[in-house]
Amino acid sequence: MQDQAPRKTLPKLDESLLAHLPPFSRLDRREIREILDQATSRRHDAGARLFNEGDPAERFYMLLDGHVRVVRVTPTGDQVTALHIPAGQLLGIARAIGRDTYPATAVTASEAISLGWPMHLWDIFVARYDGFATETYKTIGERIGEMNTRIVEMATQQVEQRVANAVLRLVSQSGRKVPNGIEIDFPITRQDLSELTATTLHTVSRLLSAWEKQGLVESKRKRITVCDPHALVLLSQS
């Protein structure tokens, strides 16, 4: 079921908080203010669905805080995690790819806060604010590039390389320094990793256990910390 968290307007949200983020980074404060005045905010619990695959695309979102898993369901009913989206990015932008339904389900991987707009405003924002359109389509290009990279990895790499590359991408997107290394800053399970790398839960568990013994990573309570990034990079390229 789609998340039904309460909404509230944000007339006083400071424009400077978003000025460094696409799609706002090329807009002036007045333009950002105009866009924000038409947004509503929502707070989501971990595991909440912002929207479901196949639903009419009625709203698009900016993730202010937290992380979201983008999930697809195969014809056989299996769930596949296609992407992880960190805070500071748009999602649900079906109109940008010529769709009137959502192509995937968005599930919060942690507690999250989003801004949302009615989808009919998408065309207005793109037409009215040049920087909005430019920066948004850069984001789409980056996501397509990531998906293409993963397709090449699945076609050409051994499973250990694929899992290493997936962990390194998550660290690059959402890593934070901790005393023993760099931690992926949201809960991620071994099942999530198996879906990201088109392999089995057993294989991911075996690899992470082996890497832990070698001192490359620590994995516990849905948290993964990379203790030796250089060694993991070498594994991903071997």
152 within some domain: no
Q: What is the pLDDT of residue 8?
A: 46
User: Residue 2: its pLDDT value, please?
Assistant: 57
Residues 133 and 15 in one domain: yes
For 53, the token pair is 């695959």
- For residues 171 and 177, what is the distance between their CA atoms, to the nearest angstrom? 10
Domain boundary among 92, 126, 146: 146
pLDDT at 163: 94
Given this model, what pLDDT does residue 9 score?
43
Which residue, of 146, 174, 207, is where some domain finishes? 146
| 102 lies in the same domain as 71 | yes
Whether residue 2 is contained in a domain is answered as: no
According to the model, what pLDDT value does residue 11 have?
46
- Indicate whether 180 and 138 sit together in one domain: no
Q: Last residue of some domain: 146, 174, 193?
A: 146
CATH code of the domain covering residue 79: 2.60.120.10
Q: Total domain count for the chain? A: 2
Check whether residue 29 and residue 132 sit in a common domain: yes
Q: Is residue 110 part of a domain?
A: yes
Residue 151 lies in a domain: no
Is 141 contained in some domain?
Answer: yes
Low-confidence ranges of the chain (pLDDT < 50): 6, 8-11
Same domain (yes/no): 134, 193: no
Distance in angstroms (rounded) separating the CA atoms of residues 131 and 137: 10
b/e per residue, 122-134, with b = 16+ CB within 10 A? beebbeebebbbe
Q: Are 87 and 66 in contact (CB under 8 A)?
A: yes
Q: Which domain holds residue 64?
A: 7-146
Answer yes or no: is 82 within a domain.
yes
182 and 123 share one domain? no
Identify whether residues 126 and 192 lie together within a single domain.
no
Kindly state the helix (H) or strand (E) to which residue 206 belongs, with its residue range. Answer: helix 201-214
Same domain, 105 and 13: yes
Distances (CA, A) of 203 to 7, 82, 152, 162: 42, 19, 20, 11
The CATH number of residue 208's host domain is 1.10.10.10
Say whether both 120 and 142 belong to one domain: yes
169-194 pLDDT per residue, tens: 999 888 899 999 999 988 888 988 98
Ordered DSSP codes for 34-54: HHHTT-EEEEE-TT-EEE-TT
Nearest to 217 by CA among 156, 152, 164: 164
pTM of the model: 0.78
Same domain, 30 and 113: yes
Interaxial angle between packed helices 159-174 and 130-156, expressed in degrees from 0 to 180 and rounded to the nearest 10: 160
Residue 102 resides in a domain:
yes
Angle CA 172–87–124, to nearest 5: 125
Q: List the 49-51 sheet strands across, edge first.
A: 49-51, 105-108, 67-73, 79-86
Same domain (yes/no): 138, 196: no
Based on the domain organization, do 106 and 48 belong to the same domain? Answer: yes
Q: What is the pLDDT of residue 73?
A: 81
